A and B are shown apart, each in its own frame.
Chain A
Amino acid sequence: QSALTQPPSASGSPGQSVTISCTGTSSDVGGYNYVSWYQHHPGKAPKLMIYEGTKRSSGVPDRFSGSKSGNTASLTVSGLQAEDEADYYCCSYVGTNKKIIFGGGTKLTVL
């Protein structure tokens, strides 16, 4: 099972919006409403941002939003702030073998 496909990097200036994509197949991203997104600052525990594709985890600012179209899920960060600079990972349940798969990660840089 290959990892979900994410762009290695993304960037934006403070106040701008950036969208990170996560592409899978009909066996994972496209087939189930079980996509989640995590923010990971190096040396810290990953933090759940979005679950079930579009739902924000408790305490996550509404600047973060999730969506899905076909086999591709997306995370949009609006009104970029310096503290948003981190690695972001998507994750999905895989129905064919009941395993879980992560994307390769996207390093978000706030310019």
Chain B
Amino acid sequence: QVQVVESGGGLVKPGGSLRLSCAASGFTFSDYYMNWIRQAPGKGLEWVSYISSRGSIVNYADSVEGRFTISRDNAKNSVYLQMNSLRAEDTAVYYCARDGKSWWFDYWGQGTLVTVSS
């Protein structure tokens, strides 16, 4: 069955960096776009970034552009989110989600919590 599992969350100081990982299984990973989506405490869902199936196309929310970098390793069935220059407002649960071929998310992980605080 399809599984998506995030890891790498934790506590980091403002201005610091963190790298999230997402391991996928149960489907042909290299056929699908992948996304990162976050939810800050008490707030709604916010799309963060996507990467195309071969990694040649990426896009970011305005709130993270220039600070976050998405990448993938199809040999390891994994997608990553490198987060730099972190701010308090980046505190959130970060979800990894598969794109179901037309800009919708059909499989989500359980999320990993990132806390940015001094």
Binding site for B on A (CB under 8 A): 1, 3, 34, 36, 38, 40, 44-48, 51-52, 57, 87, 89, 91-93, 97-105
Cross-chain contact A48 with B59 (CB below 8 angstroms): no
Asked if B47 contacts A51 (CB within 8 A), the reply is: no
Which residues of the partner chain B approach A98 to less than 8 Å between Cβ atoms? 59
How many A-B contacts are there with CB distance less than 8 Å? 65
A46 touches B108 (CB 8 A): yes
Which residues of B come within 8 Å of A, CB atoms?
35, 37, 44-47, 50, 59-62, 95, 97, 100, 102-106, 108-111
Give chain B's interface secondary structure class. Answer: strand
The 4 closest A-B pairs by CB, nearest first: A36-B104, A105-B44, A93-B103, A51-B104
Decide: B103 and A36 in contact? CB cutoff 8 A.
yes
Chain B residues with CB under 8 A of A89: 44-45
> In the bound complex, what is the Cα–Cα distance between A95 and B54 (angstroms)?
21
A45 B110 Cβ-Cβ under 8 A: yes
